[in-house]
């Protein structure tokens, strides 16, 4: 009968070192995605995902999607100009914004101006 201490299980042969684990956690806290961290450190994405779930401080979710064409400040300025009577139509508001150098918000559907009162 073989000595039990000399036998290694399949789980022990794939053990990830603490140095790699700490490097993965550091990369996650630096803002790396699960896939990019897994590829950079040579571990599976599922391992990185499990480490991410078990972190003491939760990471902010990644920002996805297209950035907004108008900032919050620009939206308030546009609504304020229409509600104050300075601009009576959306066309006048567009001309004011284009004159100020803001052109991105004029899309295929035209500008959308709404105010909540």
Provide the residue ranges of all domains of the chain, joining segments of one domain with +.
Answer: 11-53, 66-117
Predicted confidence band of residue 6 (pLDDT cuts 50, 70, 90):
low
CA 64 → CA 33, 55, 60, 61, 107, distances in Å?
A: 12, 22, 12, 9, 21
Does residue 48 have a pLDDT over 80?
A: yes
Collect all residues with Cβ–Cβ distance below 8 Å to 113 and sequence separation of at least 6.
78, 79, 82, 90, 93
Alpha carbon 49 to chain centroid distance? 16
pTM (global) more than 0.85: no
Find the mean pLDDT for residues 80-84. 79
pLDDT at residue 65, rounded to an integer = 83
């Amino acid at each position: 009968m073989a000595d039990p201490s000399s036998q290694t299980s399949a789980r022990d042969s794939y053990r990830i070192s603490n140095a790699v684990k700490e490097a993965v956690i550091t990369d996650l806290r630096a803002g790396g995605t699960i896939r990019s961290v897994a590829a950079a450190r040579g571990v599976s994405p599922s391992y990185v995902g499990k480490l991410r779930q078990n972190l003491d401080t939760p990471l902010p979710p990644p920002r996805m999607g297209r950035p907004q064409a108008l900032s919050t400040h620009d939206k308030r300025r546009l609504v304020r100009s229409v509600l104050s009577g300075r601009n009576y139509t959306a066309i006048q508001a567009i001309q004011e914004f284009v004159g100020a150098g803001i052109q991105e918000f004029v899309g295929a559907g035209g500008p959308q101006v709404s105010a909540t009162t």
